[in-house]
Structure 1
Amino acid sequence: MSAPAHSPSSGDHGAAWQRTQRRLRAELGEDIYLSWFARIELESVDTSGAANLSVPTRFLKSWILSHYADRILRAFQEENSDVQRIELSLRTAGGRAPAAARAPAANAATAPRTGTAQPAPQINGADNAAGGGLVGSPLDRRMGFDSFLVGRSNALAHAAAQEVAKARAGEAIRYNPLYVHAAVGLGKTHLLHAIAGAAETGGRRVLYLTAERFMFGFVSALRAQTALAFKETLRGIDMLVIDDVQFLQGKTVSAEFGHTLNALIDAGRQVVVAADRPPTELESLDDRLRSRLAGGLAVEMASLDEDLRLSILKSRVTVAREANLGFDVPPSVLAYVARTVTANGRDLDGAVNRLLAHNTLTGAAVTLEMAEEALRDLIRNREPKRVKIEDIQRIVARHYNVSRADILSARRTATVVRPRQIAMYLSKVLTLRSLPEIGRRFGGRDHTTVLHAVRKIDGLLHSDNALAEDVDLLKRMLSE
């Protein structure tokens, strides 16, 4: 039991605490205040100067002690000089819990780690995000490791995924977060479903979310004032799998994703993330979060090589033949499709579907001539690709290990100026955009700046063999 409060009176302490709450709300903003501070209550200030505060959940207590204890103490002391430290306890239905956790007067306390099991999150069923729960996106059980075809372009990602999936709860985590990035249709979503399905089968509590569902759940919880329940659901799992993280938008949502990522990783829980670009190019996220995502294992799933495309085609034809017994694709046609349909796995699926439709609807045998006719528009990707300025900026930035934001910025360091000039040069020679338009796409620069860059790089290409090789490589990368 706390000692009796001393002068100033308890009423004065209560008024000082209300002023402290208003100060925190003004300093930290409405969203953060509602998430972390709105449910803190002042119980008493005892004769030793300890302000006894209480909160309703163990997670909230741990989080405040870890992140905001000093902030609360300073704000309270500015309103009431009698306060020397704060003590945080857990409220129960019948009042305060008997034991309080003490935050030191100078430094924020470290959050206690406990081995208490958390209730498994709701995975299936109606969406309950507004009520504080969170429903995972449905897993496709057909997308397992047994149906994932491996080639040179995805072997590393596949091996890392299997390593993550087979680990058991409580075991040391080798790759955290595991970050998989690839262009559209190269199999990253399949790999995420395989990880989540295998881990769930192994008894781990897994939550699979798309970025859109994460955003919807968090915004709904904020509106319903159930953000704490939302946070506790996310942090009560063994593995969080998030797909298409490039779609995360908004400062508040990104900040919450960052808090969730840090809390899970620090607690030894596995995080798996997929996107269509490397972490350094997620411009909607802040530098700290991009750094955290890159701090685990970031692996790229490259374009499908021809052998892998052929394996995928054979697999798809085998499945199609089970439902259509007369369907057959000669090896020469499979080789032709694998050689000419190069964009991604979804185009390969489309190719098989078209061959099947022509075969079953017209009765015509699948021949090379029929394939050429049926797949005419899919094969157009063999023609020169229309290059976008955004693609040039992204690929040049990746090649020179800078960010696209650096290229668009006003920075004048040599490590940024040369890639920027090369990107401007490629934009002029590979697109039909005018110099003023290119300048606008490079951070609102004048057309004379673009002209200078083009002339500079064009002149160096004749004397600098290393630069010429770099530019040739970049042109090939942009044409793939």
Structure 2
Amino acid sequence: MAEGWADACRRLRASVGDAVYNAWFARLELISIVDGRANLSVPTTFLKTWIQSHYLDRLLGVLTAEFPEVTHLAIALRSASRAAAAPRAVADEARTSGSEREDVLRATDVAVQDNRKAPRPADKDAATPADGLGGSPLDRRLSFSTFLVGRSNQLAQVAAQRVAEAKAGEPLLYSPLYIHAAVGLGKTHLLQATAQAVTDSGRRVIYLTAEKFMYGFVASLKAQTAIAFKERLRAIDVLIIDDVQFLQGKSIQTEFCHTLNALIDDGRQVVIAADRPPGELEALEERVRSRLAGGLCVEIESLDEALRQRIVEARVAVAQVIQPGFELSPTVMAYVASVITTNGRDLDGAVNRLMAHATLSARPHTVETAETAIRDLIRTREPKRVKIEDIQKLVASHYNVSRADILSSRRTATVVRPRQIAMYLSKALTPRSLPEIGRRFGGRDHTTVLHAVRKIENLCAAETTLAEELELFKRLLQD
């Protein structure tokens, strides 16, 4: 087991990098493997919470590669007294040594900047008046003028621009403004554009990532300046927080909620971004989710092909400034836009790869050579992970019942059949076990799930309409 764990650790280090590994995984230990469950331990609640929230799937993947019998894992605290002191986790972490905190912060920066273009430290344009308040740096390239608008993001762009153009003292149209979208669709670009426009208007603004907010709060506790930290945040005109799904810790969430209430009640503007709607932020407390949902919630949807085409053209234009001889024909650009469908960052990667290949070969690209250049980028795309909650919502909406009905104990025909279909799809489209699916459907027994799966399989053989409906559900959930 020790040898396998050492190999798993090497895999993990290669996957996440030295800085992230040293900060989050160096003190992680494998205790035992029992009945397919890998039992691990860490010394602090903070580490346990962070790993469970951000790296659980990756950790399970490297463990499964070395121990095929492992199907799930559990992380515990090595000290029982520390586990009993969970409500004091933030204060405990504030007592961590300064050098260790700096390592954690550097690792956090690495993890977050994977999803964000960070300005160079020496770039004076990246500075902002909010720096004195501990704000995150702004990248001057991420402005409204460089944000490309299409059907998928038009509403979010208009809402953000109205926030940016509002005058001091004017009544707020909506606060908070909550923007949610999957990775690489432009949330950070919009938030940074808003922060820069507000700064240029002379209003006081601070732009923070969730990690920066957490670190600032913990640091203020350590330095015994928590009151000053709160006063500085609540004295601004516009608060902008990115990646709020990463907020962890009861004390930190409580302070975040108090800050939201204070700013909104005082007529100040708050702008929030996350990777999912407020109601799906399971890690946040109910009152925080409710407060976020009380403003304007806008989703940036997947990029349509016309917008992807414009993004490719814009990226090629930027690449030509770096490499003047670089050219892509309209046909090749259209091909790239058609096969890279996920997000803007993947389009950036495709253009960068095409530029590198063109530089090395000194020949213009054709569709065939472009396909070769970006083939591995497409092949390494991970399939969409279907969530049980998404299945429940889709089925409930289709059959005109509520998700609460599906989870309830009601046994009327209008509810039982959608519930059985949702259980069948959960078994077919997710890696969850029958007992886990049962727990996610109101605490039902695994035999109930098994009965539902067999019932729907039998009905599919007899009812063509139902089989077609299930295929439609699968396509909608997997697209």
TM-score over 0.5 (shorter chain): yes
Residues 408, 442 of structure 1: 8 Å contact kept: no
Match of 1:245 in 2: 244
Q: Which amino acid aligns with 2:265?
A: D
Q: 1:262 to 1:31 in 2, by over 3 A?
A: farther
- Deviation at 1:378? 2.7
Q: Which amino acid aligns with 1:337?
A: V
Distance 1:386 1:347 in 2: 15
Distance 1:413 1:169 in 2: 53
Distance 1:275 1:418 in 2: 34
Distance 1:371 1:333 in 2: 7
Residues 245, 275 of structure 1: 8 Å contact kept: yes
Q: Within 5 A, what are the aligned runs for 1:236-315?
A: 236-315=235-314
Residues 391, 426 of structure 2: 8 Å contact kept: no
Which of 123, 136, 141 in structure 1 is aligned with 2:130?
A: 123
CA deviation profile, 1:242-280 (whole Å, cap 9, x unmatched): 000000011111111110001000000000000000000
> TM-score w.r.t. structure 2 length?
0.66
Match of 2:169 in 1: 170
RMSD: 3.2
Match of 1:115 in 2: none
Match of 1:327 in 2: 326
Q: 1:166 to 1:464 in 2, by over 3 A?
A: farther
Q: 1:193 to 1:261 in 2, by over 3 A?
A: same
Distance 1:143 1:295 in 2: 28
Q: 1:31 to 1:360 in 2, by over 3 A?
A: closer
Q: Within 5 A, what are the aligned runs for 1:377-456?
A: 377-380=376-379, 386-388=383-385, 391-394=387-390, 396-397=392-393, 400=396, 411-412=408-409, 421-431=420-430, 434-436=433-435, 438-439=437-438, 446-456=445-455
CA deviation profile, 1:125-162 (whole Å, cap 9, x unmatched): 6xxxxxxxx40000111100000000110111111111
> TM-score w.r.t. structure 1 length?
0.66
Q: Which amino acid aligns with 1:339?
A: S
Distance 2:310 2:375 in 1: 22
Match of 1:338 in 2: 337
SS in 2 for 1:198: helix
- Relative to its length, the structure with more helix (as a share) is 2
Match of 1:367 in 2: 366
SS in 1 for 2:137: coil
For the pair 1:234 / 2:220, whether they are aligned, the reply is no
Q: Which amino acid aligns with 1:372?
A: E
Match of 2:74 in 1: none
- Deviation at 1:410? 7.1
Match of 1:179 in 2: 178
Residues 393, 407 of structure 1: 8 Å contact kept: no
Q: Within 5 A, what are the aligned runs for 1:10-89?
A: none
Q: 1:431 to 1:235 in 2, by over 3 A?
A: closer
Q: 1:387 to 1:430 in 2, by over 3 A?
A: farther
Q: How many residues align?
A: 349
CA deviation profile, 1:286-321 (whole Å, cap 9, x unmatched): 222211111110000000000000000000001111
SS in 2 for 1:124: helix
Q: Which amino acid aligns with 1:426?
A: L
SS in 2 for 1:370: helix
Q: Which amino acid aligns with 1:235?
A: R
Which residues of structure 1 form unaligned runs of 5+?
1-28, 34-120, 126-133
Residues 240, 272 of structure 2: 8 Å contact kept: yes
Q: Which amino acid aligns with 1:124?
A: D
Q: Larger radius of gyration, structure 1 or 2?
A: 1
CA deviation profile, 1:166-200 (whole Å, cap 9, x unmatched): 00111111011000000000011000001111111
Match of 2:38 in 1: none
Q: 1:122 to 1:445 in 2, by over 3 A?
A: farther
Residues 406, 418 of structure 2: 8 Å contact kept: no
Residues 387, 431 of structure 1: 8 Å contact kept: no
- Deviation at 1:475? 2.1
Which residues of structure 2 form unaligned runs of 5+?
1-86, 92-127, 398-402
Distance 1:330 1:287 in 2: 52
Q: 1:400 to 1:144 in 2, by over 3 A?
A: farther
Distance 1:350 1:122 in 2: 32
- Deviation at 1:214? 0.5
Q: 1:400 to 1:169 in 2, by over 3 A?
A: farther
Residues 208, 241 of structure 1: 8 Å contact kept: yes
Residues 393, 423 of structure 1: 8 Å contact kept: no
Q: 1:387 to 1:193 in 2, by over 3 A?
A: closer
Distance 2:395 2:433 in 1: 25
Distance 1:305 1:278 in 2: 21
Distance 1:408 1:370 in 2: 53
SS in 2 for 1:375: helix
